[in-house]
Every structure is written in C-alpha cells, then in structure tokens.
Amino acid sequence: MIDKTVASVEEAVAGIRDGSTVMIGGFGRAGQPVELIDALIAQGATDLTVVNNNAGNGDVGLAALLAKKRVRRILCSFPRQHDSWVFDELYRAGEIELELVPQGNLAERIRAAGAGVGAFFSPTGVGTQLAEGKEERVIDGRTYVLEYPIKADVALISARQGDRWGNLVYRETARNFGPIMAAAATTTIVQVDEIVPLGSLEPETIVTPGIFVDRVVAVGERAWTRGGDFVGGVDIEGRPLADATASREGDQ
C-alpha cells in the first residue's frame, strides 16, 4: 500500500539537509505552509536557499527562519513589504543574498523545472535591469530573454485536502505556487487541513496528482473554515477577530 501520510510535522520535515534549496508556497497568508515552516525552524537545517514570492513578514514563519540566519540566499519577486524588517536588516547588513525575479518569470521558471524544460525565452523583463547579462533573442519580431528553471531539493506547500497517494486539492487563491512547486522539487512535503480516504477526491478535480508529492501531514482546519465551509471571523492574516475588533469593523 502506498501511504505518503506522516503523523507529524516533525516527521514531515525530517532529513532536510543543510545547504538545501527549499521552495515555500504561499502568496501572502494564502497557501503559506505555516506549520511546516515552524517545523523547519525547529528541525534546524541551515545554509538554505529559499524560493518564495516574498521574504517574510513580521517575526513569524519565513521571517523567523531568516532571523535565525538559516537562509543564505533567497529568490523572490517582492521582498519589500511594510513589515519585512527582518529581511531588510539582513539585506542591508549584507547577510543574505537576493535574486530578484519578476513574479511571472519566477512562476514559469519553477514550472519549467517540473516539466523538464531546459530553458525558455520570456518576454518579461526585456530591456530592464533584471534582464541585464541575460541572453536576448528576437523571435517573430518580439524580444525575449532566456530564463532557466528553478529546481529545489524540497518544497513545503499547503493544500486543503490530500489522500494517501498524495493527490491534492487547494482552496481559492491559496492554490498559487503550490502545484508548480510540488513538481519542481525532489521531495515535496505538503501540509493539508485534512487527509481524506483514497477515492474521496474526484479524479476530474485533483489539481496536484500524487506523483509530485512525497509526504502529506494533516495540520487541522484553518480558523476560518468549519467542516470545510467558510465561516469567517478572522483577519487577513487568519487571526481570529477579537470581539472588540469585530464590532469595530462592523461599524466601518
């Protein structure tokens, strides 16, 4: 029997080696594998290269991983946010390398890695600083730059449900980088709200087939759903609204 489920986030992140390239899913709070990132911090792997759309917010999750100096290099499209002080400080101190990649090139380069494409010509970034030194080519009258795949040793992603074969479905815009990162990494580790019996997921609607997935761990339902249905009652970061806050918002 194939069983990719594991019992705990500790087991899920076991064996991630120092020096690994680690993709981390999510765009904002949506699809961020919060529990897996915390487990990676506890696990201790260091000298990492991280691929993520951002470079961490506040003091938790990816920002906490950065604060512990576990990350040597980061590839992302948007490291500068109002609360990205951890990255900002490391960057200014020269303690972290940054490869800034336009978001669409980031996505397509990750997709290329999973799909076995050796390199591709992209129209994005042509004539800008971010294409400096890259090979250019005019094809059919339009200028493109050559972009290479981004592969990873490990992907940490979040999905709504998974089964023991590793088949996954996502929720709304939390899908974002999950499916392409799952395919681009040697070992793909997924946290799901819920593990469902094999056969529960409709074959037409599976977004990530299990072939791309190595380990699945259930971390429980998000605060804003109950029994799979959206119930709200949280802020954009997923924090339950205090009663006071809720009534203030209600007044606006």
| Among candidate residues 218, 209, 155, the one with its CA nearest the CA of residue 187 | 155
Distance (Å, whole) CA 11 – CA 125: 40
**Interacting residue with a copy of itself among 116, 197, 227, 250 (CB under 8 A):** 116
Distance (Å, whole) CA 119 – CA 117: 6
> Which parts of 93-212 fold into alpha helices (H)?
103-115, 178-184
Between residues 205 and 252, which has the closer beta carbon with respect to a copy of itself? 205
Residue 112 interacts with a copy of itself (CB under 8 A): yes or no? yes
How many other C-beta atoms can be found within 10 angstroms of the C-beta atom of residue 120? 17
Between residues 19 and 123, which has the closer beta carbon with respect to another protein? 123
Do 224 and 190 contact (CB within 8 A), yes or no? no
Residue 114 interacting partner from a copy of itself, another protein, none (CB closer than 5 to 8 Å by kind): another protein
| Among candidate residues 128, 160, 167, 121, the one with its CA nearest the CA of residue 144 | 121
Between residues 71 and 169, which has the closer beta carbon with respect to a copy of itself? 169
DSSP 201: S
- Min. distance of Cβ 5 from another protein in angstroms? 12
The residues in 77-116 that bind another protein, with binding defined as CB under 8 A, are 77-81, 84, 87-88, 91-92, 98, 100-108, 110-111, 113-116
Helix (H) or strand (E) holding 146: strand 142-147
Beta bridge partners of 11: none
Residue 246 interacting partner from a copy of itself, another protein, none (CB closer than 5 to 8 Å by kind): another protein
Between residues 15 and 127, which has the closer beta carbon with respect to a copy of itself? 127
In three-state secondary structure terms, 152 is strand
First to last CA, the chain: 54
Residue 246 interacts with a copy of itself (CB under 8 A): yes or no? no
Binding mask 183-212 for a copy of itself (x = CB under 8 A): -------------------xxxx-x-----
Binding mask 140-179 for a copy of itself (x = CB under 8 A): x-x-x---x--------------------xxxx-------
**Interacting residue with a copy of itself among 122, 167, 176, 188 (CB under 8 A):** 122
Beta bridge partners of 21: 49
Residue 137 interacts with a copy of itself (CB under 8 A): yes or no? yes
